[in-house]
Amino acid sequence: MAVLTDRPAPVARRADRGPRARVNRLLGYAVLVFFGLVYLYPFVIQLGNSLKTEPDAAANPLSPWPDPLTLAGFERIFAGTNFPLWLGNSLLVTVLVTLGRVFFDSLAGYALARLRFRGRAGLFAAVIAVMAVPGVVLLIPKFLVLNQLGLYDSYAGLVVPLLADAAGVFIMKQFFESVPVSVEEAARIDGAGVFRTFWSVVLPMARPALITLTILSFQGSWNEFPHSLVSVQDPDLFTLPRGLADLVSGSLGSGTQYPLKLGAALLATIPVAVLFVIFQRYFVRGANDGADKG
Amino acid sequence: MATDTLTTPGTASARPPRRHRGGIRGNENVAGWLFVAPVIVILGLFLLLPILMALWVSLTGWNGQGSPFTGDVPFVGGDNYSRLFAEDGLARRDFMTAIRNNVYYVGIVVPVQTALALGLALVVNNRLLRGKGFFRSAFYFPSVTSSVAISVVFLFLFANSGAVNRLLGLLGITGPEWFADGRGVLHLLLGAFGVDSAPAALASGGPFGLSWWEWLSGPSVAMTSIICLVIWTTSGTFMLMYLAALQNVPVALDEASTLDGASRWQRFRYVTLPLLKPTTFLVVTLGLIGSWQVFDQVYVMSQGNPAKTTLTPAYLSYRTAFRDFDYGSGAAISFVLFLIIILLTLFQRRLMADRDGPRRGRWWRRRVPEGS
């Protein structure tokens, strides 16, 4: 491991070309490739096996090559399961939740960063406290409140509780604090109201933060599982993760049906994967916000 | 607060001499509350209020019929809690089994994912290697995917005749039936030394209704596969944190120690590692907080089986409420778990606040990968 801690030091540079350095580099690549396989090969296996017949998947699970190649698994996903319905529900929930979070979180983030109103400090402390509440202990509480409000087993129950999140408010507040005030001041002096200033002056400048928040919200609500577990039980309201979990727990009937399950999981992964490839640096920023701005 | 120092000077100088409608700041009180209103309503209604409701339910014997807030629901006081700790019975056995399982889970996941994250960050940070960006993405990618979808893949990988057992077969090892195998790993290790059943001293008398032998089982074989999955999905996130920290290590320090004749290992051990100490604290505490929340993977892969060895407090609370319709006990388990996690969070915030000083405020915006 110590071999790999090389830092860009001029002193070390002379040694870059020696035989020892070559051995080190080779070792480094070996480690990279090994872990690259560990992290990516499961996805390769998933893709390969989703295109196999069931006996082939059972006999050669390690091989990425289907023999024979078949789309039967995928055909059955669309013909034999409620996958299209789950997909539609997931899209609807994700779009609504993402729009809601981006709008409401930036409103609140802006107010907490810029507007001076009584109770602001207390509110911000509350936001920080809320961020510490672990999601899994909210399963029963969420069910109770949805049940009490008559929102259980409805689209509203799936969407409304997720429309704002404390972490998003925090990200937006931090961002707005880093924007120079002079622009807003100018707009205000020109007579623009608070909302007008926010909407047409500040928000357009917040593009990087908005993209980060959009991506985090999309990813979060697309993958959201526990909330759908306690907010709906009607199969017509299942989102993709809920439907997938249902498939796995044996609603399929006979056989393991791995090609079908792997294919469905693959399709559920694709949107986030595409987003990841395109907006990678925003994902990194979202996961690790602030760490690089030491 | 930093905000005030930022805004106040600007406002003071920019305030126009003529005040209209109560001045440029006059309507901010109203606007401020209007701006935060949607978030307050949503978080208040679906986060704070439900917690209070659940606190009440945890003191009742509500079975899911009707509303829990009517007089018909039996009030049982602290019974749901005392059954978890004090009274011998199935409730305590299950709860303590779940705690035991989760302790072993945390004990393996946190150190391994921390070490792996550091190792991966060191490799990816190596300036001599090409293609690092690709590998960084590859290591991080599992963290952004759906926990349910990934669990499906791992169910296939760890199936009886699945990829993992095939791989082990190539090495001449006969793999176990992962998800059917409830034997504890420590028990198996002891078995290898001829200790196949509980020695008399351990056969009974452990705390909270489980025997010492049961407490010392180690994670079950089935739990091990969930542990592998979680380490695999979360190490990428923590790698990014290490990577960010590594990029802040001053090059001059390394140069100086190289000039002083330090070997690579010495440079890592005595220069890099101490500089990474704050990040390690962060990664370990975030890992501790996250790994008490493991739920999705258990739900999809094992549902607490085999022999309750993959039961965790989070899953047990769900099962008690939504499968056994004992919402009071389920809520009580949730609150005990809540307490564990909040204590860990406070501990972490205290640690980070002591460390950061003027830079405080950055660490808490990090998102804890669930189930990590």
Omega into B306 within 30° of 0, i.e. cis?
A: yes
A72, exposed or middle or buried, with CB in 10 Å at 0-12, 13-18, 19+? middle
B70: confidence class by pLDDT, cuts 50, 70, 90: confident
Confidence at residue B332, expressed as pLDDT on a 0 to 100 scale: 92
Helices (runs of H) and strands (runs of E) counted in chain A: 17, 0
**How far apart (Å, rounded) are the C-alpha atoms in residues B44 and B66?**
23
Which whole number is the average pLDDT over B217-231? 93
Task: Output DSSP code: residue B184.
Answer: B
**Cα B302 from chain centre:** 18
Inter-chain contacts counted by CB atoms under 8 A, chains A and B:
368
The interface predicted TM-score of the complex, written ipTM, equals: 0.85
Confidence at residue B354, expressed as pLDDT on a 0 to 100 scale: 66
Query: Is the per-residue pLDDT at B15 higher than 60?
Result: no
| Structure-model confidence comparison of residues A38 and B352, the more confident one | A38
A278 touches chain B (CB under 8 A): no
Which of A39, A148, A169 comes nearest B139 by C-beta? A39
- The answer to whether A170 and A131 are in contact (CB under 8 A) is yes
Using one digit for the tens of pLDDT, what is the confidence trace for B154-200? 999 998 888 898 899 889 888 888 888 888 888 888 888 877 777 77
Minimum Cα–Cα distance from A196: chain B residue: B31
Confidence at residue B23, expressed as pLDDT on a 0 to 100 scale: 52
Across the interface, whether the CB atoms of B331 and A280 are under 8 A apart is answered no
A198 touches chain B (CB under 8 A): yes
**How far apart (Å, rounded) are the C-alpha atoms in residues B159 and B261?**
51
User: Testing the interface with A: which of B24, B33, B128 to mutate, by most A Cβ within 10 A?
Assistant: B128
A245 touches chain B (CB under 8 A): yes
Helices (runs of H) and strands (runs of E) counted in chain B: 18, 0
B184 strand-pairing partners: B220
HSE value, Cβ hemisphere, 13 Å, CA-based, for A258: 27
Across the interface, whether the CB atoms of B146 and A269 are under 8 A apart is answered yes
Across the interface, whether the CB atoms of A177 and B3 are under 8 A apart is answered yes
Calculate how close chain A gets to B73, using CA atoms only, in Å.
Answer: 14
What single letter denotes the amino acid at residue B341? I
User: Testing the interface with A: which of B28, B36, B282, B347 to mutate, by most A Cβ within 10 A?
Assistant: B36
- The answer to whether B168 and B175 are in contact (CB under 8 A) is yes
Q: Write out chain A's pLDDT in tens, 294 residues.
A: 344 444 444 444 555 567 777 888 888 888 899 999 999 999 999 999 999 888 888 888 888 888 888 888 888 888 888 899 999 999 999 999 999 999 999 999 999 998 888 889 999 999 888 888 888 888 989 998 998 899 999 999 999 999 999 989 999 998 998 888 888 888 888 888 888 888 888 898 888 899 999 999 999 999 999 999 999 999 999 999 999 998 887 655 556 788 899 999 999 999 999 999 898 888 877 666 533 332
Minimum Cα–Cα distance from A173: chain B residue: B3
Query: Is the per-residue pLDDT at B2 higher than 50?
Result: no
Confidence at residue B3, expressed as pLDDT on a 0 to 100 scale: 41
